[in-house]
Amino acid sequence: MVDTAQRPATLPTPEAPETSGDTGPITLNSDLAAAQVDVAALGRQLLGTWADVRIKAREVTARPDMQRIEGLSMHDHRLRVLEQLKVLAANGHVHRAFPKHLGGSDDHGGNIAGFEELVIADPSLQIKGGVQWGLFGAAVLHLGTKPHHDKYLPGIMDLSVPGAFAMTEIGHGSDVASIGTTATFDPDTDEFVINTPFRAAWKDYLGNAAKDGIAAVLFAQLITQGVQHGVHAFYLPIRDENNDFLPGIGGEDDGLKGGLNGIDNGRLHFTNVRIPRENLLNRYGDVAADGTYSSSISSPGRRFFTMLGTLVQGRVSLDGAATAASALALTIAITYGSQRRQFTAGDAEEEVILDYQRHQRRLFPRLATTYAQTFAHDEFLVKFDEVFSGKADTDDDRQDLETLAAALKPLSTWHALDTLQEAREACGGAGFLAENRLVGLRADLDVYATFEGDNNVLLQLVAKRLLTDYSRKFASADAGALARYVVQQAAGRAYHGSGLRTLAQTVTDFGSTARSVGALRDTNVQRELLTDRVETMIGEVAGHLRSANKMPKKQAAALFNSHQNELIEAAKAHAELLQWEAFTRALETTVDPGTKRVLTWLRDLFGLGLVEKNLAWYLIHGRLSSQRALSVTAYIDRLIARIRPHAQDLVDAFGYSQEHLRATISSGIERERQDEARDYYREQRASGQAPAPEKPAKPAKPAKK
């Protein structure tokens, strides 16, 4: 590396008086510096509702035989992960969601909590396990009926029947309703005939399809008596005892991927493959021997959404796994940043890189987001458990759960990629070495952004829901409803409708920056700023789209498309609000005052970070004056400095040991090397043996004015 920079350095100044002319005087609290994080208690809080399951899972992920080995060939990696799956099948780690009478424990939330921890061992393990038990097995469980359960689940659970989840087609990713594969009922033989009508209808990207799978749950258009009843799921053997494809079935290996190469993704196609009628997973739709179709759900659209809705757990698990990976990355980068020294302010000793403002700016907001996601994920998991355990599974509950999934999964999976990359860059060249794990994790998690629903498509689902809610409330002519609809997205929070207007109207009154900063610290002000933005964005788009239902279809679609970007941004804002709300609720349950204080700074950093990111919106819409907008950034700078002394505690609380981190640079080796170098120079100076400088010392200085 070539570099000529003398980076001006500094010491940490967490509680230094004003450093920016923009921020005005603040009240110095003498106990700020004294705030301490109770790492153990915070760690317990972060583990969440299924803490015991997670602790057990972390014992599994700490086992070397369950972990990824960097640099394995695709072939060897696949073999290794398959062996690891057998361990999971044997120890029951992956059976929690299955029925008690088959050896499971009907524990849906705990099941996901345990699954998502596997990402720390190897994302391929998490995802291949997810394919087997979370998709293939769950489809039999949720779309099949008791005969299917009794017949198929035992083999799925114990992995004697590895299977694929054959939904996605090469021509149809996120648009499942449009898949081309057909299952046509033949009453003469009492069979379904499966066909792939054209190349674009090949099933693709299916885990377990290239090599290990001997069966599949296949999604196809069900046709009987000349009528197409939409997408249904079928149980289908695909390979024989020699692991050769059964007659009429063909396929290809997807080959090397950007990551997750421990999973044998592949393609499948079908030519007149016949399966017995009872292989239709018939919970939501059935065909009688004479070919008569019946369903408990009369609307084909609602039936489709209900069937697919049972598979939401994939998204839940990705949200949790992405958040765990972000936490791991930040633990590595912040630990390293606390030990690594580079550049000097002219003193003999170099500065710790985490003391540089830019380094803090790069890592701490991402830490705040990771905390928000951790808390939001636990609430999400509770909601999922309530729906799947039957505790609260009305249609509304299920729709709320799906909207929550569609909102949170995109944000957390994108955040993981962003955080892993920033952490990698923050560790410099060392971050690029496979031994320090960041590059491998990033490569594996890349596809989380587009599988189980493309992130952009999911956010459009959220936007549609917001628009629908808006239009319902609006149509009902209840003036207050408009102000309340977003509230319902985040159940349980107190919404001060009047505060919102007050904030907007009195913004010009905030002449004093000090008062302005004070207001930004206020939980209700943050809530109002964030809530108001979602409401207003949706209201604006709804206004633009109002004329759509009077238009010809094509024109209406064009109008909608011209607001697509805004809609997705509104959905993001909504999801961020949900995360902020969860963080805020978590604060309420934090007992230790020191921990609560530091966590509040972190929550403020998250909330004000969202405001800063969208500052233009707040200015344009008159929600913030220029004066106050400036104070947002200034206050974020101050929060970052306050958080600095607690950064290590905040990542330690995630609870990952060296067995989980497995990164050379976070093992303490960097501190040893730095100490050795400093000792060397100290001794040299003390001994008088140090070579003289060519010219008298002329330390680097900051640029003079």
- The answer to the question of residue 622 lying near a copy of itself (CB under 8 A) is yes
> Which candidate, 566, 117, 635, places its Cα nearest to that of 365?
635
Residues between 651 and 690 with contacts to a copy of itself, criterion CB under 8 A: 672-674, 676-677, 680
Residues between 173 and 202 with contacts to a copy of itself, criterion CB under 8 A: 173-178, 180, 197-201
- The answer to the question of residue 366 lying near a copy of itself (CB under 8 A) is no
Residues between 95 and 134 with contacts to a copy of itself, criterion CB under 8 A: none
Q: How far from 482 is each of 467, 493, 582, CA to CA, in Å?
A: 11, 16, 22
Cβ 209 to a copy of itself shortest distance, Å: 13
Cβ 421 to a copy of itself shortest distance, Å: 7
> Of 36 and 342, which has the nearer Cβ to a copy of itself?
342
Q: What is the DSSP letter of 23?
A: S
Strand-pair partners of 166:
218
Residues between 238 and 267 with contacts to a copy of itself, criterion CB under 8 A: 254-259
Cβ 335 to a copy of itself shortest distance, Å: 17
Q: Which amino acid is at 660?
A: H
Cβ 294 to a copy of itself shortest distance, Å: 12
Helix axes 313-337, 357-389, angle to 10 degrees: 160
499 to 538: interface string for a copy of itself, x by CB under 8 A: ----------------------------------------
> Of 101 and 361, which has the nearer Cβ to a copy of itself?
361
Q: How far from 325 is each of 266, 322, 331, 412, CA to CA, in Å?
A: 26, 5, 10, 10
Tell which one of 63, 101, 146, 361 touches a copy of itself (CB under 8 A): 361
Residues between 560 and 579 with contacts to a copy of itself, criterion CB under 8 A: 560-565, 568
User: Distance between CA atoms of 601 and 33, rounded to whole angstroms?
Assistant: 13
Tell which one of 34, 479, 591, 616 touches a copy of itself (CB under 8 A): 616
Q: How far from 289 is each of 146, 168, 564, CA to CA, in Å?
A: 19, 29, 46
- The answer to the question of residue 145 lying near a copy of itself (CB under 8 A) is no
Cβ 79 to a copy of itself shortest distance, Å: 16
- The answer to the question of residue 554 lying near a copy of itself (CB under 8 A) is yes
Q: How far from 177 is each of 171, 223, 301, 384, 564, CA to CA, in Å?
A: 12, 14, 9, 24, 21
Size of the site for a copy of itself (CB under 8 A): 166
Over its C-alpha atoms, the chain yields an Rg (Å, rounded) of: 28
User: Distance between CA atoms of 357 and 669, rounded to whole angstroms?
Assistant: 24
443 to 462: interface string for a copy of itself, x by CB under 8 A: x--xx-xxxxxxxxxx-xx-
Active site residues: 452
> Of 110 and 266, which has the nearer Cβ to a copy of itself?
266
Phi, psi of 230 (to 5 degrees): 90, -175
Cβ 640 to a copy of itself shortest distance, Å: 9
User: Distance between CA atoms of 144 and 138, rounded to whole angstroms?
Assistant: 9
> Which of these segments, 101-109, 156-164, 430-438, 572-580, binds a copy of itself (CB under 8 A)?
430-438
Tell which one of 235, 336, 356, 606 touches a copy of itself (CB under 8 A): 356
Q: Answer whether 646's CB lies under 8 Å from 653's CB.
A: no
Q: How far from 641 is each of 157, 340, 634, CA to CA, in Å?
A: 50, 18, 11
57 to 96: interface string for a copy of itself, x by CB under 8 A: -------------xx-xx----------------------
- The answer to the question of residue 498 lying near a copy of itself (CB under 8 A) is no
> Of 158 and 540, which has the nearer Cβ to a copy of itself?
540
Cβ 463 to a copy of itself shortest distance, Å: 9
Q: Answer whether 451's CB lies under 8 Å from 205's CB.
A: yes
Residues between 14 and 33 with contacts to a copy of itself, criterion CB under 8 A: 16, 19-21
Tell which one of 15, 106, 158, 350 touches a copy of itself (CB under 8 A): 350
User: Distance between CA atoms of 108 and 133, rounded to whole angstroms?
Assistant: 12
Q: Answer whether 179's CB lies under 8 Å from 233's CB.
A: no
User: Distance between CA atoms of 135 and 312, rounded to whole angstroms?
Assistant: 10
Tokens of 8: 């001006």
> Which of these segments, 165-173, 244-252, 508-516, 574-582, binds a copy of itself (CB under 8 A)?
165-173
Query: What number of other Cβ atoms are within 10 A of residue 641's Cβ?
Result: 20
> Which candidate, 570, 582, 485, 571, places its Cα nearest to that of 527?
582
> Of 21 and 390, which has the nearer Cβ to a copy of itself?
21
Q: Answer whether 545's CB lies under 8 Å from 505's CB.
A: no
Cβ 454 to a copy of itself shortest distance, Å: 6
- In the sheet that holds 249-253, the strands lie side by side as 203-206, 266-270, 249-253
- The answer to the question of residue 559 lying near a copy of itself (CB under 8 A) is yes
Cβ 593 to a copy of itself shortest distance, Å: 28
Cβ 571 to a copy of itself shortest distance, Å: 11
- The answer to the question of residue 342 lying near a copy of itself (CB under 8 A) is yes
For residue 574, how far is the Cα from the chain centroid? 15
Tell which one of 168, 181, 412, 513 touches a copy of itself (CB under 8 A): 168
Tell me if residue 208 falls in helix, strand or coil.
Answer: coil
- The answer to the question of residue 44 lying near a copy of itself (CB under 8 A) is no
Cβ 344 to a copy of itself shortest distance, Å: 7
- The answer to the question of residue 56 lying near a copy of itself (CB under 8 A) is no
269 to 298: interface string for a copy of itself, x by CB under 8 A: ------------------------x-----
Q: Answer whether 352's CB lies under 8 Å from 26's CB.
A: no
Q: How far from 257 is each of 97, 232, 262, CA to CA, in Å?
A: 30, 29, 10
> Which of these segments, 79-87, 121-129, 335-343, 364-372, binds a copy of itself (CB under 8 A)?
335-343
Residues between 368 and 407 with contacts to a copy of itself, criterion CB under 8 A: 402
User: What per-residue string of b and e applies to 325-335 under the rule 16 or more CB within 10 Å gives b?
Assistant: bbbbbbbbbbb
> Which candidate, 357, 333, 365, places its Cα nearest to that of 431?
333
